[in-house]
Structure 1
Amino acid sequence: MDIGEKIKRLRVKNSLTQEELADRSELTKGFISQVERNLTSPSIATLVDILDGLGTNLKDFFNDIEEEKIVFSKEDAFISQNEDYGYTLKWVVPNAQKNLMEPIVIELEPEGRSKEDSPHEGEEFGYVISGIINVCIGSETHRVRKGESFYFKANANHYISNRGKTIARVLWVSTPPSF
């Protein structure tokens, strides 16, 4: 961990100058500058004073939780094709299987379908971007058109299919992740 860089990030995030942080910590501006550039290392007691001035503590400061990525570009997506079933999956949020929800965009060729998913704890949501699909849950089939959505508890075998003559695109979100 780059302690100096992290202190500087917190200082800037709190809209403080080095002098303001130094005053809050009862240190000099020069010392804060040296710490931020990793030219000197503060003692634990001095680090506690600096962190107090930044409104945090040792535990939170050293908790190395990665910053959460909020926006994902086309380049972040991962694409997989299944020619046997006639679909293409696009994971629009990378590594979403570690999250509570897993959003994908599935493109179904005419007569294509997703693989059948077994019953599981959780729910399924989908929004039809283009085309018309069938949502098959157990022995029931529901037709869903462009601009419509589906939502169900995943307590029966389920899959979606495209009985149309054009490609169908669906934003599909599963919880917990199952794609």
Structure 2
Amino acid sequence: MDIGKKIRALRLGNNLTQEELANRLELTKGYISQLENNLTSPSIQTLFAILEVLGVETHEFFSKPEDEDAKIVFTKEDFYEKESPELGSLISWIVPNAQKYEMEPIMIELKPGGQSRIDDSHPGEEFGYVLEGQITLVLNKKRFIVKKGETFYYMANKEHYLINTGGSVARVLWISTPPMF
């Protein structure tokens, strides 16, 4: 663990100069510089005082950031797919475990005449981008034609679903926030 780097990041996050931090701790600017450059190590008492001034609990400082090992790039092998032959659809969850994030993207492929499942109203918002074909967005019984290269965006507080009324396969990138798919 790079203690100096973490202290510097916290100091900067609090919009403090080295001198301001040093003054609050009755230390010297040079000492703070040495700490941040790992040229010296603080005593436990000094470290606790620094963390208190920076507004960080000791356990937070030493815990691994949640996103440090978070996967950033996902490949086809990471996707989870579910086919619904009765609906004529194939859904691919393209970010595994997206329920823990703020939004959930899926890729939905609809055969001609196929449709997504009907979603009841729920809190949140949804966005879609038609990659191939043409779909009809049904939003509370109102219908909207959305063609390749076009997008849709709506509040999800009304019943909604997609239908492929065209003659070729339709593919849509569909994103929900909060995760609902």
TM-score (normalised: structure 1): 0.71
Mapped partners of 2:78, 2:130: distance in 1: 22
Gaps of 5+ in 2: 10-36
The answer for the alignment partner of 1:111 in structure 2 is 113
Backbone CA RMSD of aligned residues: 3.1
Code of the aligned partner of 1:21: N
Gaps of 5+ in 1: 1-5, 15-19, 27-42
* Secondary structure class of the residue paired with 2:65: coil
**CA deviation vs aligned residue, 1:69-123 (integer Å, no higher than 9, x gap):** 3322222221111111111111111111122211000000111100000011111
Code of the aligned partner of 2:102: L
Match of 1:164 among 144, 163, 166: 166
The answer for the alignment partner of 2:60 in structure 1 is 60
* Secondary structure class of the residue paired with 2:92: strand
* Secondary structure class of the residue paired with 2:153: strand
The answer for the alignment partner of 2:76 in structure 1 is 74
1:150 aligns with 2:174: no
Shift of 1:65: 3.5
* Secondary structure class of the residue paired with 1:97: helix
Mapped partners of 2:77, 2:47: distance in 1: 40
Q: Is the 8 A contact 1:123 1:151 kept in 2?
A: yes
Q: Is the 8 A contact 1:111 1:164 kept in 2?
A: yes
Mapped partners of 1:100, 1:48: distance in 2: 33
Shift of 1:57: 7.1
Matched pairs, number:
152
Code of the aligned partner of 1:89: I
TM-score (normalised: structure 2): 0.70
- Alpha-carbon spacing, 1:9–1:112, altered in 2? closer, same or farther (3 Å): farther
Alignment of 1:73-112 (within 5 A): 73-112=75-114
- Alpha-carbon spacing, 1:133–1:172, altered in 2? closer, same or farther (3 Å): same
